[in-house]
Structure 1
Amino acid sequence: MESKLPVLFLCLAFAACSANQHHDPSVVGYSQEDLVLPSKLLDLFTSWSVKHSKIYATPKEKVKRYRVFKQNLMHIAETNRKNGSYWLGLNQFADIAHKEFKANYLGLKPGLSKMGAPPRPATAFRYANAVSLPWAVDWRYKGAVTPVKNQGKCGSCWAFSTVAAVEGINQIATGKLVSLSEQELMDCDTTFDHGCGGGIMDFAFAFIMGNQGIHTDEDYPYLMEEGYCKEKQPHARVVTITGYEDVPENSEVSLLKALAHQPVSVGIAAGSKDFQFYKGGVFDGDCSAELDHALTAVGYGSSYGQDYIVMKNSWGKSWGEQGFVMIKRGTGQPEGVCGIYSMASYPVKNAIHWGA
């Protein structure tokens, strides 16, 4: 492999500039000079480790992670060389093998609905007759999206997707953007959802309804692990919803209709190496075989002829475009890229008030 490193780094450097003519040439976050010479590889790993606060328990562990880092760097270089509509870059997952990544950072479990849990409700779709949709929507600029959060090494994406959708509809209904508690879902919504072991958003919406609301993140902060369910505090604020609905499956236009009115929780097949290292652009690359992760759709639009849906992830701001990803739409696939039209739902909030 060492004899191929000069070619690899040249490819990576030039691919970073040419993967898409509209993006920052330092797509992996480092200068071309850092990438051209093989002798710079260890320096690159060291600087990356410092940037992401990586500390290894033993020299053996550091050597292991260094090898994984080099393998992942090669994948990034080879993918960017293809000059597609999206590009990859080094992020906090660069020293994590793909198998390990899939085991620890996903968490959507669609199969829960077939294992004794009640089926997803056959609810009405309130936006079915929506017409004259705007050509673009972005709830971030409408004040309905909280800053990107980080689920950590825990399969709690379902809780983050649920909370982001509730935060959105609450802001639309009340005018107040309030960060809500994923940890409460982790600790207390345990009948069918399983904390770091995974869950689905509909069950979490149902829990919030049955629990007469969900606490704020300030009152019930996230721990990156499962904890004990806390009783309601007398003066703690909660946000309520009055229902939830499913978006009709395999229908791009239905998702756009819903998204024109509010952020939407979406299941996605995100367990691919390309998704692990997504850095920017309109993603239409490799996906995993089944739905395994949950995001929150927060808008749609077009960029240089590429139609997309923009989604909020829960892997922190160092992943993707400051924590967001643009997924290509208009491909003609009924299920959409990475199955994004297969499992989408949203909360309903008719009442405008705090408290149960």
Structure 2
Amino acid sequence: MESKLSAVIFLLLLLGFIACSSSASHHDPSVVGYSQEDLVLPHKVLDLFSSWSLKHSKIYASPKEKVKRYEVFRQNLKHIVETNRRNGSYWLGLNQFADVAHEEFRAIYLGLSTGLAGTDGTRAATAFRYENAMDLPREVDWRKKGAVTPVKSQGDCGSCWAFSTVAAVEGINQITTGKLESLSEQELMDCDSTFDHGCGGGLMDFAFAYIMGNQGIHTDEDYPYLMEEGYCKGKQPQSKVVTISGYEDVPENSEASLLKALAHQPVSVGIAAGSKDFQFYKGGVFEEGSCGTELDHAVTAVGYGSSNGQDYIIMKNSWGTSWGEQGYVRIKRGTGKPEGVCDIYRIASYPTKNNSTGWGA
């Protein structure tokens, strides 16, 4: 009886999509590979949901759950199509989050805890070694310089703070030693628990301080990611650790300062990412008016550049390569807004490493 009822509900949802989409343009192509004409046809939408589910290995516990997730998918698809019709500087696409309601998404995948250290504009000032940096290059891409590991995935866990921290440490370690090592987010999840809270959120400065106090961080080969908090393993015999000598905050609300730091190394950055557009970002230069309302996510700035008259900063995310531009997002810069698009100039910091330090030093 339940399966028959679910089938009826499923059909009604499909028919409902026609009414919701009848005003769509019949000429603008959709970035998901279906025309506007396709997306008012129930069987095309069902085909799209089925192929998307297969691609992302989605298995639902019951027909009722499948119907529920289809409805979420349909609403998200509608938002993607309507946004792309505006032909802005960026576009959206279906990714692994297409069956996730936006409030669910915010609760699970965003984990920057800014309140931990009074990061509402009252952070204690630290030294800023790049203050007097001059003659910055026109563009920088630390990926091309070998200082960025492949994009990782935090999974269903608010551990973005750990991934942002690790990416910045991986960068300065490669710049200083010439060796690119993929480091352990899980160690921070398990062991850095004084102020940071695993999947419950954290802050990069505290994680940098933990690495200093712990005299290094292991590789993720020795301490692999589990997508949940576990028991702290501590020091492991015969295993390598990467050390840092300190960390510094980038002066707040200063694009010039972030660019100075970024010209020298990857930088951990807090961002207001709690918008539906950010959830489904696929490509282009993300711009003002499309962000969340508060700092709630952590990424890593790995470069800056310009394209087609658009200046941008390149951010490495931790949602896998299905999201964005193979796991990256370009955020517009040069807007004149002190805090920047999505507030990216409010909270930024980076680790420091003496030339003499290496493995375990």
Written as runs of structure 1 = structure 2, the 5 A alignment for 1:23-172 is 27-28=31-32, 30-32=33-35, 35=39, 37-114=41-118, 120-172=123-175
Task: Report the structure number with the largest CA radius of gyration.
Answer: 2
Of residues 248, 251, 256 in structure 2, which corresponds to 1:248?
251
15 and 254 in structure 1: CA distance in 2 versus 1, 3 angstrom threshold: farther
Q: 1:288 deviation in Å?
A: 1.3
Of residues 191, 194, 199 in structure 2, which corresponds to 1:196?
199
254 and 265 in structure 1: CA distance in 2 versus 1, 3 angstrom threshold: same
Contact 2:339 2:345 in 1 (8 A): yes
Q: In the alignment, what sits opposite 2:292?
A: 288
Contact 1:8 1:77 in 2 (8 A): no
Contact 1:6 1:38 in 2 (8 A): no
Contact 2:252 2:345 in 1 (8 A): yes
Contact 2:217 2:243 in 1 (8 A): yes
CA distance in 1, matches of 2:334, 2:109: 28
CA distance in 2, matches of 1:2, 1:267: 37
Q: In the alignment, what sits opposite 1:353?
A: 358
Contact 2:191 2:234 in 1 (8 A): no
Q: In the alignment, what sits opposite 2:17?
A: 2
What SS does the aligned partner of 1:75 have? Answer: helix
Contact 1:34 1:44 in 2 (8 A): no
Verify: 1:315 aligned to 2:315, yes or no.
no
Of residues 208, 229, 241 in structure 2, which corresponds to 1:238?
241
Contact 2:17 2:74 in 1 (8 A): no
CA distance in 1, matches of 2:226, 2:96: 19
Q: 1:31 deviation in Å?
A: 4.3
Structure 2, unmatched stretches of 5+, are: 1-15
TM-score by length of 2: 0.91
Structure 1, unmatched stretches of 5+, are: 17-26
What SS does the aligned partner of 2:149 have? Answer: coil
Q: In the alignment, what sits opposite 1:325?
A: 329
Q: In the alignment, what sits opposite 2:265?
A: 262
64 and 254 in structure 1: CA distance in 2 versus 1, 3 angstrom threshold: same
1:33-84, Cα deviation, whole Å (9 max, x unpaired) = 8546332111110000000111101110000000000000000011111110
Q: 1:124 deviation in Å?
A: 1.0
1:252-292, Cα deviation, whole Å (9 max, x unpaired) = 00000000000000000001000000000000142111100
Instruction: Return the letter of the residue paired with 2:140.
Output: V
Contact 1:88 1:280 in 2 (8 A): yes
RMSD over aligned Cα, in angstroms? 1.6
CA distance in 2, matches of 1:321, 1:4: 32
CA distance in 2, matches of 1:345, 1:42: 45
Q: In the alignment, what sits opposite 2:310?
A: 306
Contact 2:219 2:240 in 1 (8 A): yes
Instruction: Return the letter of the residue paired with 1:270.
Output: A
Q: 1:15 deviation in Å?
A: 4.7
What stretches of structure 1 move > 6 A for 4+ residues in a row? none
What SS does the aligned partner of 2:28 have? Answer: helix
Instruction: Return the letter of the residue paired with 1:14.
Output: D
Percent identical: 78
What SS does the aligned partner of 1:14 have? Answer: coil
CA distance in 2, matches of 1:62, 1:129: 57
1:171-220, Cα deviation, whole Å (9 max, x unpaired) = 00011100000000000000000000000000000000000000000000
176 and 9 in structure 1: CA distance in 2 versus 1, 3 angstrom threshold: farther
CA distance in 2, matches of 1:181, 1:265: 16
